[in-house]
Chains A and B, each alone.
Chain A
Amino acid sequence: MKKLSTALIATALLVTSGCGSDDSDDTDATEPDASTPAPTSDSAPTADTTGRPPQAADVTLVLGTLGDDFYKAIECGARLQAEEMGVNLEIQAPTAFDATLQIPIVNAVTATQPDAIIIAPNDDTALFEPLKSAVDAGSELVLVDTNLADASIAAGHIGSDYVLYGEQGAQELARLIGGEGKVLGIFSPPGVSTNDLGRQGFTAEMENHPEIEVLEFEFSSGEAGKSAELVAAVLAANSDLAGVFTFNGGDAPGVVTTLSEADAADRVSFVSGDAQPFQVEQLKAGDVQALVIQQARTMGTLAVEYAVAAINGEEVPDETALPTVVGTVDNLEEPDVANNLYQGC
């Protein structure tokens, strides 16, 4: 029995140290920087005026969730930029878009005392205290995609121009339906700031098209099952529906399914936000006629740039809203669109 326990313990320790040693090249390289700033920055974080060369900077990027193509695109932009600037970039992410999973990660990252943290916070309130601790411990903070309710602790936030996002969605839809008919907009429920701004933009643009009747907005947060139900119900009540816009790419499969089930795909135009790989396929197949795309990769690039600037004590803009771009099957190959499709690298 004793032998067994010992063997098992040995295995467990082996497993953990084994995983670690895979990365030993990495960690060996970072150890000197990790250990040098610790004693001085603890006692006097502002005394570091000499400014270490930017190539020594340690930056950790905490994404909104693992396995999401939008965040993979942000990661890609950040990685490329980090390589170019000689920044040592670490990537972390929770397994789901869940503040209770992201906070422990932030706490662990704080313990490594990186020079800067770039994060897409899972919650605008819950993440405040953990991130404040990181800032108090001397890390610079750059927010990307999602924001904090009180972003005063961050050097800056980089997101999209969500009003333009909604406007472009409305414009494309109006163009596709020839400026008249009934349209349905599907957004996240009120309270999600990005979607609220998008709704404003959508409504404002539709006022330029008097022949278009905008139906009551419906709400779904990127759940295909939910959006499928919604479109089916709206279609039942309005057989003359001319167009649908979904703000969240996650809602697109539900819309496509319902439209084809109802044999309505030919007479109902569909424009969606986002450009995940499956959406690009939908665009090529003609299931969706236009995509409104956020410049995810540029967000990652800028975030690293800002992080390095903040580390060097330079000013960065508090708020950066990148314009969205419209992708159709005709311009899919153009660099503006091709570079911004949501995918890793």
Chain B
Amino acid sequence: MSATLRGWVSRPSVTMLVILIGLVVTFSVKEPAAFPTVSNLRGILSDAAILLVLAIGATFVIITAGIDLSVGSVLVFSSVVGAKTMDALGNAGADAIVVGLVVAAAAGSGWGLINGLLVAKAKVPPFVVTLGTLGAAYGLSLVVSGGLDVRSVPKGLVEFGNGRVVGIPSIALVAGAITLIAGVVLALTVFGRWTYAIGSNAESARRAGISVDRQFVSVYMLAGLMAGLGGFLSLARFGTTTIAGNTTTNLQVITAVVIGGTSLFGGKGWMLGTAIGVFIPIVLSKGFIIVGVEPYWQFVAVGIVLILAVLVDQRRRLRAAG
């Protein structure tokens, strides 16, 4: 019983949950009129939503001991083709929005398929593959858009993206629902178990009869799909594509996943941890801005938390190894 308890406590995601709660309490005590408010909470949720969706895909990828650097560019590409499609359909009506969603999701999955095939079949290291597609997806976004942001997005979509359902930002609800589903898939399904298995040891997974290549491809496709959905949510939120934006999105996503306790060595990771990992940097930066700390300090603090998370992970590994 106490061993289980100790194992639970030493999970990095629990450590990080304590840190997250500590941050919220600290900022709330320091700025009681501004930090613990409904409007700030809504702001935090909206800012977290798109990163969370991307981080879900990245969690699967990192559990396989892989990495996906292309998500920010794939997000931009998907939002560009999604917006262009809706534009071509006259930017009106639910059908244009649905087709736009499908196109954005398909575009994202397409890039994921390319990443997955190159990693699994061609055996190119994921770092290199996704560094390549990062550039390629960004370049093609420029080609498709002519370098100019597509600013004609259906009004209904933007209203949804900035709207609320029972007081909660709607994009945060969408992100929450996707997280829940992905968490269940990871923890309770064969797909999730195989993801852990190929991340722990691809060779033994192969011997155990798992079709390893297919699993790799599916995992990268999932990450691409999430980037595609992220691109669509970004259209809904901003009402425009953000071609020049999302330059650091991939690093923010990887930071969140690692803070959440998913091991870069593969085989270990939790969806709840990822959610916590997404919120820590956002709460930190919101808190710092509200308290009035120079913006530069945010990076220092996030950097420290990141290193802390990896330290905890390593300690745990050493202990597990005896």
Residues of A within 8 A of B (CB): 1-2, 4-5, 8-9, 11-13, 15-17, 19-20, 22-23, 26-27, 30-31, 34-35, 38, 66, 90, 92-93, 95-101, 103-105, 107-113, 122-123, 125-126, 128-129, 133, 137, 149, 189-191
Contact = CB atoms under 8 A, between A and B. Distances in A.
A107 B34 CA distance: 12
A20 B30 contact: yes
Interface in B139-182: 147-149, 151, 158, 162
A1 B238 contact: no
Interface in B54-83: none
Given A5-B15, A35-B32, A189-B148, A111 B290 contact: yes
Contacts of B238: 99-100, 103, 123, 125-126, 129
A123 B240 contact: yes
A189 B147 contact: yes
Given A9-B19, A22-B293, A16 B26 contact: yes
Given A1-B6, A5-B15, A19 B293 contact: yes
B194 interface: no
A98 B6 contact: no
Contacts of B35: 111
Contact of B282 (A104, A123, A129, A191): A104
Given A16-B301, A108-B43, A92 B148 contact: no
Contact of B289 (A16, A22, A34, A108): A108
Contact of A92 (B295, B300, B316): B295
Contacts, number: 168
**Count class of interface residues, chain B:** 35 or more
Given A107-B46, A126-B240, A27 B292 contact: yes
6 contacts: A5-B9, A23-B291, A96-B248, A97-B244, A111-B43, A149-B151
Interface of B: 6, 9-10, 15, 18-19, 22-23, 26, 30-35, 37, 39-40, 43-44, 46-47, 147-149, 151, 158, 162, 234, 237-240, 242, 244-249, 282, 284-293, 295-297, 299-301, 304-305, 308, 311-312, 315-316, 319
A22 B296 CA distance: 14
A191 B288 contact: no
B173 to A, nearest CB: 17
A52 to B, nearest CB: 16
A312 to B, nearest CB: 23
Given A4-B312, A98-B247, 6 more contacts: A20-B293, A105-B285, A105-B289, A108-B286, A111-B290, A191-B148
Contacts of A125: 149, 151, 238-240
Contacts of A104: 43, 47, 282, 285-286
A35 B35 CA distance: 11
Main secondary structure of the interface of B (DSSP, over half): helix
Contact of A101 (B15, B31, B245): B245
Nearest to B244: A98
B245 A111 contact: no
A316 B284 CA distance: 36
Nearest to B249: A100
Contacts of A15: 300-301, 304
Contacts of A189: 147-148
A331 B305 CA distance: 52
Contacts of A93: 295
Contacts of B32: 35
Given A9-B18, A35-B33, A96-B248, A111 B39 contact: yes
Contact of B33 (A31, A95, A98, A126): A31
B301 A126 contact: no
Contacts of A137: 39
Contacts of A101: 245, 248
A230 B311 CA distance: 49
B288 A19 contact: yes
Contacts of B22: 9, 12-13
Nearest to B287: A16
A126 B31 CA distance: 28
A138 to B, nearest CB: 11
B312 A8 contact: yes
B289 A109 contact: yes
Point out which of A19, A38, A66 has the most chain B C-beta atoms below 10 A from its C-beta: A19
